[in-house]
Amino acid sequence: MAETRPSTREAGLRDASSSLARLWQTPGGLSRSEALLAIVLASTSGLGILVHTFGPVPMSFSAPFVVFPTACLLAGAILVRRQLPERFHAFARALVAGASWGMVATLFYDGIRPLLGFLFGFTFNPYRAIFIFGELITGLPRSDPFAVAAGWTYHFWNGTSFGMMFALFRPQGGILPGVLWAETLQVLMMIAYPSFLNARLDDPGFMATGIIGHGLWGIVLGAGLKRTWARQAG
């Protein structure tokens, strides 16, 4: 019996590794370490919100000196894709697909939330965070046009960068994985936003617009990436 334990353990490790490999299919030719690096770069906009809320780094610093440079780095990777080998092509294709469908999903997300407020009489302003972003980034009043533009830009970068992260982890997309990713973001929002927005978790408008809005965002993102994956495979 003692002699069979190592082989049983090894078989269990192999099965776990195989399951992880099936779950995380990186874009063709791209190693997991390369995909993980890109995910970290794409996550900086969300991290900027968290470190502002819970840490000592204000968004007036993280937006221009962390988020913007990483956005430029990812954009540069896309722009020079034709000059680099196939591994980089896979990286750039995943970023483009994730950014494109992330933006489309964000438009759906922004459209459904005020509609829910209208239908159910919620008083929570679904766009409150955008104007706070602008104020924190620029130091200007929330109504200032430059602050408003900065807030919306940051908001859309959030949507596209979270789409990039998902595309690098799950390039084949899928509705269920997309919804799971979206609701993971919703949980993080529920952790950070009550302090950030002075919102309450028992506010039905805050909860309903967030859960349903993120669910729709995940459906659009997952379905869109699945369609792109099938088209590229064909």
What pLDDT does residue 200 have? 72
- CA dist 127 and 155 (Å) reads 10
The single-letter code of the amino acid at 219 is I
What is the reported pTM? 0.72
Count CB neighbours of 28 within 10 A: 15
Q: Which of 124, 225, 234, 122 is nearest to 182 (CA)?
A: 225
Per-domain residue ranges for the chain?
Answer: 4-233
Helix or strand run (H / E) with residue 215: helix 204-233
Phi, psi of 102 (to 5 degrees): -65, -40
Question: Per-residue pLDDT tens for 156-177?
Answer: 988 998 998 899 888 899 999 9
- CA dist 122 and 132 (Å) reads 20
Tokens of 94: 């995943």
Question: Per-residue pLDDT tens for 82-135?
Answer: 555 666 677 778 888 999 999 999 999 999 999 999 999 998 889 988 998 888
Q: Which residue has the higher pLDDT, 64 or 97?
A: 97
Average pLDDT, the chain: 78
